[in-house]
Amino acid sequence: MNEAGSGSVSSAINLAAYNSIADQWDAARSTLWGREPFYLDVFLAGMPKGAQILDAGCGSGRPMAENLLARGYSVLGIDQSAAMLAKARARFPQGQWLEAKLEQYPFADPCCGVLCWDALFHLERCFHQPILARIANCLSPGGRLMLTVGGSAHPPFTDSMFHQQFFYDSHPPQQVMAMLTALGFTLRLGEFMNPPTTGRDKGRYAIVAEKSMGRHDTIFP
Ligand SMILES: C[S@@+](CC[C@H](N)C(=O)[O-])C[C@H]1O[C@@H](n2cnc3c(N)ncnc32)[C@H](O)[C@@H]1O
């Protein structure tokens, strides 16, 4: 399937870059890093097996969607990079994989969990709140979002990986958490994965947030 239209400036830069480094990325990103196993446990706690999880910016599907599938969840991965998705499709045929841009994706189908891991900060920050609002709408009451954002206040920038330039932008973590609270989320976890340095590392911040339940809602359908 292909829902990827022309999209934003950031999309164009990152689309070409990720398509050209898909092999190197896939080789480098073969296992969970740092405290990711713990974040996944918080994200998945109490979520029934078989529940639908959307992996927004799924890359090659490894290791995050791989972990979700191995734990018995249904995964729909979306990504704008055909080269990354080709790896996910070949390796995990039990998942669903859709070529789409986050800034255009409607997030219309209900799901119990949304993972947006190391992807939102690849888009201009003007897209972030609208994407988070669409994610909030698609999550079932009690459903969860697992997200990374940049770890500091900074203007948009480009940086290189595997000799390609990538675009990055982010609101600082406190601002993202305020947005999520305003969208009806309760924060379950927020911590630096790597704090910003005085050098080129702007830091990275992990968030798990839960969609609040209404008075008559139950946890997960
Ligand atoms: C750093 S990789 C992370 C992949 C995966 N989430 C992981 O944790 O390994 C970022 C991914 O986001 C995707 N991406 C970047 N901008 C995007 C956009 N505007 N729409 C959809 N996917 C995008 C890239 O193609 C890439 O696969």
E-assigned strand segments in 91-203? 96-99, 111-116, 139-150, 157-161, 164-168, 185-194
Q: How many CB atoms neighbour CB 215 within 10 A? A: 4
CB under 6 Å to ligand 1: residues? Answer: 11, 14, 18, 29, 57-59, 64, 79-81, 84, 101-103, 117-119, 122-123
Whole-number Å distance, alpha carbon 154 to ligand 1 midpoint, is 20
Inter-CA distances, 95 with 61, 82, 127, 198, 216, Å: 9, 15, 27, 41, 32
Q: Which pair of structure tokens corresponds to residue 198? A: 């005085």
d(CA 93, CA 68): 14
∠ CA 107-146-24, rounded to 5°? 90
Give me 85's structure tokens: 């998705």
Please report the pLDDT score of residue 214 as a whole number: 58
CA of 176 to the centre of ligand 1 (A): 19
- Nearest protein Cα to ligand 1, atom 13: 57
Residue with tokens 């446990």: 41
Which residues fall within 8 angstroms of residue 91, CB to CB, at 6 or more apart?
Answer: 60, 61, 62, 66
Residue 78 has pLDDT above 80, yes or no: yes
What is the Cβ-side half-sphere exposure of residue 23, based on CA atoms within 13 angstroms? 1
Q: What is the mean pLDDT of residues 71-99?
A: 98
Distance CA 162, CA 25 (A): 8
Output the pTM of the full model. Answer: 0.94
Q: How far apart are CA 5 and CA 99, in angstroms?
A: 10
175-190: pLDDT as tens digits = 999 999 999 999 999 9
User: Ligand 1: which of 8, 14, 30, 159 to mutate, most ligand atoms within 8 Å of CB?
Assistant: 14
Q: Which atom of ligand 1 is nearest to the CA of 18?
A: 25
| Model confidence pLDDT, tens digit, residues 154-213 | 999 999 999 999 999 999 999 999 999 999 999 999 999 999 998 888 999 999 999 987
To test ligand 1's pocket by mutation, which of 3, 43, 67, 118 has the most ligand atoms within 8 angstroms of CB?
A: 118
Residue 215 Cα to ligand 1 middle (Å): 36
Sign of torsion, CA 97 194 120 213? Answer: positive
- The Å distance, Cα 79 to ligand 1 centre, comes to 6
**How close is the Cα of 207 to the center of ligand 1, in Å?**
17
Domain ranges of the chain: 9-211
The closest alpha carbon to 56, from 150, 122, 140, 151, belongs to 122
CATH of domain 9-211: 3.40.50.150
Cβ distance 137 to 91 under 8 Å?
no
Nearest CA to ligand 1 atom 26: 59
Which of 10-14, 64-68, 112-116 has the weakest average pLDDT?
Answer: 10-14
